[in-house]
Structure 1
Amino acid sequence: MEDFILGHYSELLSSGIILVVVVILRFLTHKTVRKVGSISELNQARTRLVSKYISFGFTVLAVVALILIWGVNIKELGLILSSVFAVIGVALFAQWSILSNVTAGIILFFSFPFKIGDRIQIMDKDLETSGTYLIEDIRAYHIHLRKDNGQLVTYPNNLMLQKAVCVVSDEIIENEGSDAI
């Protein structure tokens, strides 16, 4: 055991440093995401979801760094990774809309143009029901919108970034109702 430790001292030290840095970065980003979520009054489930995505990203970076530190043969690893990525690429191409919705959900989390409880109007000619919607929940793939008549509409996150969305105040809705009388 001592021979292994002495023979691979620099790799073990580098691995330890990588692991400590990843743990510190994960802690700091989780704290930042929670702070952004609380300042923006975002749903805690949404905040936890974004934290999980960031943790996964740091884990992938740590694994790549450890592979480079321990000197895995890149040619053999390249063959394995190219085969794996070919299979994953075909699977992800079939699921591109899911990935774009998750990515859009993360972008919506950090840009927070609207939040749960806001009333919005979506400028989409393909949307069968026009009018205003109340945002009930923002999830990883879609947003739950409630019409005034109680109808629940799920709308994909990526379309929320592609279409024009207006945040409507309650005063405007009340004025429209009084004008009709």
Structure 2
Amino acid sequence: MEEFITGHKSQLLSSLVLFVLVIILKIVFSSLVRKVGKISDFNPVRTNLIIKYINVGVFILSFVALTLIWGVNYKDLGLLLSSVFAVIGVALFAQWSILSNITAGVVIFFSFPFKIGNTIRILDKELSDSENPENEIFVIEDIRAFHLHLRRGNGEILTYPNNLVLQKGIILISTYKDEPALKDVEEA
């Protein structure tokens, strides 16, 4: 054991520094995301989800740094990773919409101008209803990693994918602090 420690002193020290740095980065990023979530009045569940995504990213970067510190043979590692990524790539290609929804969920967290309780109208031909215009108006009930839960004026709940939220035009009718806009539409 002593022989291993003396022979790999610099790698062990570098690994320890990396470990401390990873812990510090996780704490700093978590506190920053929590501040953004608190300032923007985001749901704590959404904030925790983004923190999980950041932790996974920090873990992947720390794994790459450890391979550099310990001088792993890149030919062997490259063969292993290319095989793993080939299998994962085929699996993920089939699940492309899931990846795009997760990515859209992260983008929505940091730049989404709407919050739970807002009343919106989505400019989507598939959702338009010329006979009942109140069915084009939705209240945001929940924002999840993959989709939004929207409630129509007639009480129906619609699950709308996050990637479509970024692709379609959305009109903010009222915020959750305003009077609900659904009453205005029903009266008209």
TM-score computed with the length of structure 1 as normaliser: 0.93
Matched, 1:133 2:134: no
Matched, 1:82 2:86: no
Q: Give the direction of change, closer, same or farther, for the CA distance of 1:63–1:177 in structure 2 (3 Å limit).
A: same
1: CA distance, partners of 2:80 / 2:127: 45
* Equivalences for residues 79-118 of structure 1 within 5 A: 79-118=79-118
Percent identity (aligned):
60
2: CA distance, partners of 1:12 / 1:105: 38
Corresponding position of 2:160: 155
Listed one character per residue, the Cα deviations across residues 117-148 of structure 1 (whole Å, up to 9, x for unaligned) are: 11111001122555210000000000000011
> How far is the alpha carbon of 1:153 from its aligned partner?
0.2
Corresponding position of 2:16: 16
Note the aligned Cα RMSD (angstroms).
1.6
Letter in 1 for 2:122: I
> How far is the alpha carbon of 1:112 from its aligned partner?
2.6
Q: Is the 8 A contact 1:119 1:135 kept in 2?
A: yes
Stretches of structure 2 lacking an aligned partner (at least 5 in a row): 130-134
2: CA distance, partners of 1:171 / 1:8: 66
Listed one character per residue, the Cα deviations across residues 81-129 of structure 1 (whole Å, up to 9, x for unaligned) are: 1111000000000001001001100100011310101111100112255
